[in-house]
C-alpha cells in the first residue's frame, strides 16, 4: 500500500474553519496556578520519556526508533492538531477552492464536534504529522480527571503516558498501519451521486427498523453505526476494518497500561478501578445525548472489547506470539474474531 491514492473526502470538510470554530467553542480547562500548570507540563514531558522503557518491556516491541518529545497542549492546541491531522489523513489540503466552499458547513459541524471532544481527550498519538509522528498530551484534561478520580497525580500521568507511548510504538514497529489507514479512509470516500441516493434509501430503511425498538450492538450505535448501516458493501467493509484496527490499538494500549504493574505505577489497580467507574457513570442528559450522537459509548466498548481480546490472546500464547498481529493487514483480527480470540489464534497462528 502506498497511501498515494487521493481521497474523495479531500475538501469535503474545511478543516481550517473547523479548527477556528472548535477553538472558539471549547470550554476552558480546570483552574490552576501558573506554577501548578508549569509543573504539570514538566511532569507529563518527563513521564512520556520514562514510559518508553516499560512499554518496550511489556510489549516486546523494541522498535529502535527515536523517542520524540511529546507536545503538551491545552484544549485549543489539541483542536488545532486534530484538525490538521484529519486534513492530512483525508487529503483535505488538496481540494479545489470550489470544494472547500462546499466544505464550510461540514467544517462548522466538525469544529463543534472537536470542541466537545477537546474536554475529554487525555492524549493522542498522531502518526500523520512529523517525521516520527506526534505524541500529544492534553494537560488540563489530565489535571481534571486526576482531580475527579482523587488518584495520585504522578501515577496517573505515567499511566496516561503508557497508553499514548504504546500507540507510538505500535505505529513505529508496524509502519504499514499508517498507509493502511489512509487507503481505508480513501475507500470510505469513494462515493458518487448514485451511491448517495442508494445510501439515503438504506438510511430510511434503517431508521424505520430502529423505530421498532430493537437492541443494537455497541458498534451499531451513534453516528458510526448509522453510517455503517447506510453504506454500500465496499465502504461498510472499509469502516469495519477501521473499527477493528481501532479496537485492537486501543485494547492493546489498555493492556499495557495495566500490565506494567505497581513497580512503575504503584496505584495502578486503584487508578484502573476508578477510571472504569468513571467510564460507566452516567453523565447529565445533554451529555448522554451528545455521546450517543458521536458514538462515544461505542468507543468505550471498543476499549473493553479490545483489551479483553488482547488479554485472552496473550494469556493463551504469550506476547511474542501475539506480536504476529503486527505483521500486516491479513493478521489483523476480523470482525468476528474480536469477541472470539481463539478464532484469531486458530486462523493466524494455526
User: Which of these, 59, 235, 270, lies nearest to 153 by C-alpha position?
Assistant: 270
Is position 197 within any domain? no
Phi, psi of 7 (to 5 degrees): -85, 140
| Contact partners, residue 214, CB within 8 Å, separation at least 6 | none
**Sheet containing 134-138, strands listed edge to edge, beginning at the edge strand earlier in sequence:** 71-73, 134-138, 123-126
Q: What is the pLDDT of residue 206?
A: 37
Q: Which residues pair with 137 in a beta bridge?
A: 72, 123
Is position 291 within any domain? yes
Q: What is the pLDDT of residue 195?
A: 44
Q: What is the pLDDT of residue 337?
A: 95
Q: What is the pLDDT of residue 226?
A: 46
Is position 216 within any domain? no
Contact 172, 66 (CB under 8 A): no
Number of domains the chain is built from: 1
Phi, psi of 284 (to 5 degrees): -70, 165
- Residues written for the chain: 350
Q: State how far the Cα of 144 lies from the Cα of 30, in Å rounded to an integer.
A: 6
Q: Long-range contact list for 270-278, CB < 8 A, 24+ apart?
A: 270/151, 271/149, 271/151, 271/155, 271/156, 271/159, 274/149, 274/150, 274/151, 275/149, 278/145, 278/148, 278/149
Phi, psi of 26 (to 5 degrees): -65, 140
Domain that holds residue 111: 15-191+232-349
Is position 148 within any domain? yes
Is position 5 within any domain? no
Question: What are the cell numbers at 122?
Answer: 487525555
Contact 180, 89 (CB under 8 A): no
User: Which of these, 324, 14, 275, 8, lies nearest to 162 by C-alpha position?
Assistant: 275
What is the full per-residue pLDDT of the chain (350 aa) written as tens digits? 444 444 555 567 888 999 999 999 999 899 999 999 999 999 999 999 999 999 999 999 977 777 888 999 999 999 999 999 888 887 754 344 444 456 788 888 889 989 988 998 999 999 988 888 899 999 999 999 999 999 999 999 999 999 999 999 999 999 999 999 988 888 876 654 444 344 334 334 433 444 444 444 444 444 444 455 555 667 778 888 888 998 999 999 999 998 988 889 999 999 999 988 886 665 554 455 445 545 555 555 667 889 999 999 999 999 999 999 999 999 999 989 999 999 999 999 98
Phi, psi of 12 (to 5 degrees): -70, -25
Q: State how far the Cα of 30 lies from the Cα of 146, in Å rounded to an integer.
A: 11
- In angstroms, the Cα distances linking 265 to 279, 290, 317 are 20, 33, 26
Q: State how far the Cα of 261 lies from the Cα of 250, in Å rounded to an integer.
A: 19
Q: What is the pLDDT of residue 329?
A: 95
User: Which of these, 38, 49, 25, lies nearest to 139 by C-alpha position?
Assistant: 38
Is position 142 within any domain? yes
| Contact partners, residue 249, CB within 8 Å, separation at least 6 | 167, 170, 306
Q: Count the Cβ atoms, other than its own, within 10 Å of residue 35.
A: 8
Amino acid at each position: 500500500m502506498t497511501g498515494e491514492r487521493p481521497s474523495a473526502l479531500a475538501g469535503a470538510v474545511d478543516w481550517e474553519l473547523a479548527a477556528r470554530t472548535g477553538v472558539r467553542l471549547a470550554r476552558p480547562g480546570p483552574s490552576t496556578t501558573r506554577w501548578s500548570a508549569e509543573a504539570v507540563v514538566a511532569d507529563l514531558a518527563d513521564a512520556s520519556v520514562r514510559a518508553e522503557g516499560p512499554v518496550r518491556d511489556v510489549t516486546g516491541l523494541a522498535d529502535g526508533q527515536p523517542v520524540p518529545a511529546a507536545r503538551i497542549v491545552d484544549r485549543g492546541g489539541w483542536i488545532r492538531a486534530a484538525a490538521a491531522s484529519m486534513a492530512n489523513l483525508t487529503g483535505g489540503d488538496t481540494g479545489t477552492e470550489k470544494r472547500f466552499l462546499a466544505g464550510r458547513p461540514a467544517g462548522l459541524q466538525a469544529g463543534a464536534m472537536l470542541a466537545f471532544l477537546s474536554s475529554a481527550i487525555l492524549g493522542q498519538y498522531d502518526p500523520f504529522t512529523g517525521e516520527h509522528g506526534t505524541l500529544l498530551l492534553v494537560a488540563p484534561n489530565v489535571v481534571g480527571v486526576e482531580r475527579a478520580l482523587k488518584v495520585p497525580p504522578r501515577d496517573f500521568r505515567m499511566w496516561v503516558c503508557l497508553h499514548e507511548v504504546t500507540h507510538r510504538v505500535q505505529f513505529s514497529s508496524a509502519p504499514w498501519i499508517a498507509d493502511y489507514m489512509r487507503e481505508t479512509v480513501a475507500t470510505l470516500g469513494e462515493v458518487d451521486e448514485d451511491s448517495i441516493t442508494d445510501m439515503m434509501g438504506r438510511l430510511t430503511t434503517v431508521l424505520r427498523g430502529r423505530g421498532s425498538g430493537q437492541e443494537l450492538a455497541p458498534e451499531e450505535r451513534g453516528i458510526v453505526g448509522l453510517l455503517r448501516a447506510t453504506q454500500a458493501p465496499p465502504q461498510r467493509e472499509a469502516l469495519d476494518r477501521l473499527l477493528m484496527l481501532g479496537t485492537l490499538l486501543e485494547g492493546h494500549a489498555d493492556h499495557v497500561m495495566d500490565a506494567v504493574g505497581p513497580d512503575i505505577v504503584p496505584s495502578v489497580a486503584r487508578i484502573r478501578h476508578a477510571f472504569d467507574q468513571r467510564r460507566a457513570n452516567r453523565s447529565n442528559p445533554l451529555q448522554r445525548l451528545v455521546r450517543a450522537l458521536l458514538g462515544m459509548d461505542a468507543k468505550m466498548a471498543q476499549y473493553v472489547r479490545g483489551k479483553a481480546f488482547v488479554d485472552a490472546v496473550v494469556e493463551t500464547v504469550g506476547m511474542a506470539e501475539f506480536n504476529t498481529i503486527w505483521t500486516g493487514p491479513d493478521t489483523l483480527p476480523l470482525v468476528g474474531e474480536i469477541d472470539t480470540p481463539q478464532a484469531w489464534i486458530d486462523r493466524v497462528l494455526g
